[in-house]
Structure 1
């Protein structure tokens, strides 16, 4: 389904919630993900933002790969509700992010 672990998505959520203090760490973390992981992360964001339904996750990943015009970290850093949308996207996909976040903390 996704080409990124739930733990990595949860890490992005946690860093995004820290705001300016973790901005460089968040940008670096996203930049270090491989292309498939980055596309999956964008797809989860789009599902959380209601651009796609959870059942369309494969299409969202494909489109994320095809339409990438800027580095993924730059694209995602412009999204003020990044953490909320990722959490909503995971929820729509049936993943309880609080369980994953607890494992990271």
Structure 2
């Protein structure tokens, strides 16, 4: 069902929690601009952050279909899709995929929670 190693998702969740817990990181709840590059604009100030770079490198190393699964997992976790609509979520992610997946994901302040919930809905967890 999930063509992505859950351990990788759990690692990304841990990096996301560290990144979003930093005081200097300020992400809007809603984008100020309707343009597609709002995530890039928001994260421009954080490009030198080592945790962000580690998160980005991990996501960038994934195959496009795995990046798409990660986005679909986030959407699943934030209730844009139900577990029964997993295939539709993957199709939507495939249609909207671009090379800025890491920036798109990390710009969501509740990303860690969304990914964890998405894993749970598909029967996975980050428990040891």
What TM bracket, shorter-length normalisation? Answer: 0.7 to 0.9
Counterpart of 2:10 in structure 1 is 10
Structure with bigger gyration radius: 2
Counterpart of 2:123 in structure 1 is 94
Instruction: Extract unaligned runs of 5+ from structure 2.
Output: 23-49
Looking at structure 1, the residues matched to 61 and 127 of structure 2 have their Cα atoms a distance apart, in angstroms, of: 24
Instruction: Extract unaligned runs of 5+ from structure 1.
Output: 100-105
Counterpart of 1:25 in structure 2 is 54
Counterpart of 2:112 in structure 1 is 83
Aligned residue pairs total 99
Contact 2:16 2:55 in 1 (8 A): yes
Q: What is the TM-score of this pair, normalised by structure 2? A: 0.72
Looking at structure 2, the residues matched to 45 and 32 of structure 1 have their Cα atoms a distance apart, in angstroms, of: 18
Counterpart of 1:61 in structure 2 is 90
Q: Does residue 51 in structure 1 map to residue 80 in structure 2? A: yes
Counterpart of 1:102 in structure 2 is none
Q: What is the TM-score of this pair, normalised by structure 1? A: 0.86
